[in-house]
Chain A
Amino acid sequence: MTAPLLEVRHLRVEFPTRRGTLLALDDISFDIAPGEVLGVVGESGAGKSLTGAAIIGLLEPPGRIAGGEILLEGQRIDNLPYEQMRAIRGRKIGAIFQDPLTSLNPLYTIGRQLTETILTHLPVSAEEARLRAVRLLQDTGIPAAEQRIDQYPHQFSGGMRQRVVIALALAAQPKLIVADEPTTALDVSIQAQIIALLKRLCKEQGAAVMLVTHDMGVIAETCDRVAVMYAGRIAEIGPVHYVIHAPAHPYTAGLMGSIPAMDGDRERLLQIDGAMPRLTAIPRGCAFNPRCPKATDRCRQERPELQAAGATRAACWWPADAPVAAASAMAAGASA
């Protein structure tokens, strides 16, 4: 077993507000192995973007890490001073955000932004940096890279810009890429191209990816493992095939069932009644218990830790014990 690239242990992120302190991430723990693609999926308010932000060290104040550790290659990065974190960002961790429009500085050419990143982190000359930049652009599929490298971001279309952002993230050859909804703002056909590109490039460079998104389809196509988040906690984590087709946690099962599928015809989509609790009103015990068809008293009192359940780990006292049967019972019509 190779040592994990990224270890997150019992991470807690809180937001002090005038109405009290809100716990946005509550005891999150997971690992990412080198070269692995981990998906982090959840609905609005589950805390997936916060997890990514905490790892990169870009939590917006007054949010702050209140507990736990984040280790990159065995070293703690959550308590580093600003300058040291800045050195790590870009060199060891690359970031891709949702909006390609605002990810690039509109006042500088993309060539300048690329070479600046390369020069900051790698000990190469300016000419070498430019050569690498051109090669990066070619790798990301931008035609006529040698000419386009001197253009400004507004001269590129949305999909092209996201490719530039990917090039920028990979420029200093980081070991880990944190991608926060990289394809949500793009058209469907471009999404497919960008996902394929991300997968290919990261594999070539041996970079691990933490892909944060709400789109289960993207996760299914790209990831090796996936973590499902709910109300600031991880509900289930495991290999992507099992989480999707044989989910152990009732929330995951409900989520998979409520996604309209391209195959099969259902009159009614499976729906989970109610909505994710707000940070100010997270229920005692298991956060999902008010909406869970299997909830018992124990669920209402004790918060479950992640425990093995079939091929995945689920934070549930009653994970589906026969995963395949449970999956087909709950998500009628979905293929296993």
Chain B
Amino acid sequence: MSTLVQVHDLAKTFDVSAPWLNRVVERKPRQFVHAVDGVSFSIERGRTLALVGESGCGKSTVARLLVGLYGPTRGRVEFDGQDTATLGDGAALRAVRRRMQMIFQDPYASLNPRWKVLDIVAEPLREHGLVAGEEAQRARVAELLQSVGLAAADVEKFPHQFSGGQRQRISIARALATQPEFLVCDEPTSALDVSVQAQVLNIMKGLQRQRGLTYLFISHNLAVVRHVSDEVGVMYLGRLVELAPKAELFAQPRHPYTRMLLDAIPDIHMTGRSRTPVQGEVPNPLNPPAGCAFHPRCPHANARCSAERPVLQTIGGIRIACHAVEEGRI
């Protein structure tokens, strides 16, 4: 198993300060959001890493950093051994772009409403010059649509003629056009009904098996994550708090936040179980707590937790950032 994607100390900070005039007149300070604050992980070829967390944890930002929609403030992304920051703007970048693609959350906004499905799916083919000639392009698009369970005749239709699940399949077909090795999926089924979600997830798993695809799967739905992933990373306020193989994470969650998340999920097969009540809400990312970001809500926090930020380290076969676990308190 070789490593396809490796991320070192990735960070992204957004400047959300008020406009210059407001700052001067109202004496407001500059404000920054550390959407991603030092994240490191690696993904093996053919495997799926899932990143879970609630809103504001930075998982979507990580996805966008990986495909180059944002530039990192710090840290680096390595794709197949190559640092993506050193790719420049030319052929090398395009070659890497061909090999990694992205699927987005909103099936209604991820397809241009004015373009025909043919043009939408053929765009990567045309942009990279992979298939020449209209006939050949059309044939290839038809083939791609059929591989995701749509009909060849759908090439002439417009996105509004399809349902949410079908549009998501079109997005998948578009992402597969350049025969990528790595797919970043940003909550691809969150906007879909449960039965449609099942169809799309089955397709994605099938494709992974057939083509040996590597996935980075972003989601807030732990049940879905459990179904599709091999490894799971839990994020909180821009930091990775636990990273473990799926079975381990679900059987024995170590980090207090992971435990809280698993406990909070309403699940149809565990009706009527008693729950430990959850405290508090995700803090304002403009003003994260000092030390460990989770300490205000953590039942196991001590003085060290409010002062010192825990480092992601390997303990007992999994990677975890928690003082309590490190000290053996839980």
Contact = CB atoms under 8 A, between A and B. Distances in A.
A binds B: yes
Interface string A234-278: 000000110010000000001110111111001111111101100
B199 to A, nearest CB: 5
A261 B223 contact: yes
A269 B266 contact: no
B193 A189 contact: no
A100 to B, nearest CB: 13
B269 A335 contact: yes
B222 A159 contact: no
Instruction: For chain B, give the interface size range.
Output: 35 or more
A217 B267 contact: yes
Contacts of A190: 281
B198 A271 contact: yes
A241 B268 CA distance: 9
A191 B266 contact: yes
A262 B165 contact: no
A189 B264 contact: yes
Interface string A289-318: 000000000000000000000000000000
Given A193-B278, A266-B227, A268-B202, A256 B268 contact: yes
B41 interface: no
A158 B105 CA distance: 21
B223 A260 contact: yes
A44 interface: yes
Q: Which of under 10, 10 to 19, 20 to 34, or 35 or more describes the interface residues of A?
A: 35 or more
Interface-centre pick from A189, A256, A271 (highest chain B CB count, 10 A): A189
B233 to A, nearest CB: 16
Contact of B278 (A189, A215, A260): A189
A107 interface: no
B226 interface: yes
Given A188-B265, A191-B264, A260-B223, A275 B278 contact: no
Given A220-B271, A269-B201, A262 B54 contact: no
A62 to B, nearest CB: 22
Nearest to B223: A260
A217 B221 CA distance: 11
B285 to A, nearest CB: 12
Nearest to A272: B195
A258 B268 contact: no
A251 to B, nearest CB: 9
Contact of B223 (A262, A268, A335): A262
Interface in B176-192: none
Contacts of B55: 187
Nearest to B250: A262
A241 B271 CA distance: 8
A275 B226 CA distance: 25
A196 interface: yes
A12 interface: no
A258 B226 contact: no
A189 B54 contact: yes
B278 A192 contact: yes
Contacts of A259: 194, 198, 223, 268
A221 B193 contact: no
A190 B283 CA distance: 12
Q: Is the interface of B mostly helix, strand, loop or mixed?
A: helix
Nearest to B191: A44
Contacts of B264: 188-189, 191-192
A43 B55 CA distance: 24
A255 B260 CA distance: 27
A262 B163 contact: no
Interface string B262-301: 1111111111100101100110000000000000000000
Contact of B197 (A188, A195, A258): A258
Interface in A78-132: none
A260 B201 contact: yes
Contacts of B260: 189
A159 B271 CA distance: 23
A218 B266 contact: yes
A227 interface: no
A262 B265 contact: yes
B269 A263 contact: yes
A334 interface: yes
A188 B193 contact: no
A56 B221 CA distance: 32
A156 to B, nearest CB: 10
Contacts of A192: 263-266, 275, 278
B224 interface: yes
A192 B267 CA distance: 11
Given A187-B282, A262-B223, A267-B205, A217 B195 contact: no
Nearest to A41: B194
B164 interface: yes
20 contacts: A43-B194, A189-B261, A189-B264, A190-B281, A192-B266, A215-B266, A216-B268, A217-B266, A217-B268, A219-B268, A222-B266, A241-B271, A258-B197, A260-B226, A262-B223, A262-B270, A263-B270, A266-B227, A267-B205, A273-B199
Interface of A: 43-44, 157, 159-160, 187-193, 195-196, 214-222, 240-241, 244, 254-256, 258-263, 266-273, 275-276, 334-335
Interface of B: 54-55, 163-166, 193-199, 201-202, 205, 220-224, 226-227, 250, 260-272, 275, 277-278, 281-282
Given A189-B54, A263-B270, A271-B198, 19 more contacts: A43-B195, A187-B281, A189-B261, A217-B266, A217-B267, A218-B266, A220-B267, A220-B268, A220-B271, A222-B266, A256-B268, A259-B194, A259-B198, A260-B223, A260-B226, A262-B250, A262-B270, A269-B201, A269-B227
